[in-house]
Amino acid sequence: MNLVACSGDWLAGSNGEPICQGMLQIVTDGNLSGFPEITYAQANILLGSVVLLFATVWGLRQLRRVF
């Protein structure tokens, strides 16, 4: 994802368009959150683990309710 940054202040033009008083800079770092990016394989492992945890807790609660 590309973002545009301004080294100065952002102003509003006569029609409401943004105007940069400094230099425009393109920020191409897609990792703005501070967390490392994960691959699709890692995301699938994480999703599978969450579903397994949910199913385990649900199953234990059902067993506790029966006994």
Q: Are residues 24 and 4 in the same domain?
A: yes
Instruction: Say which residue, 36 or 32, is predicted with more confidence.
Output: 36
Could you tell me if 42 and 21 lie in one domain? no
Domains of the chain: total: 2
Interval 37-48: pLDDT, tens: 889 999 999 999
Are 42 and 60 within one domain? Answer: yes
Residues forming a β-bridge with 19? 11
Average pLDDT, the chain: 88
Q: What pLDDT score does 59 carry?
A: 96
* CB neighbour list of residue 28: distance below 8 Å, 6 or more residues apart: 2
For residue 53, what are the domain limits? Answer: 38-67
Q: Are 45 and 63 in a shared domain?
A: yes
Residue 21 backbone zone (phi > 0: left; psi -120 to 50: alpha; other: beta): alpha
Instruction: Please tell me which residue, 51 or 3, carries the higher pLDDT value.
Output: 51
> What pLDDT score does 31 carry?
58
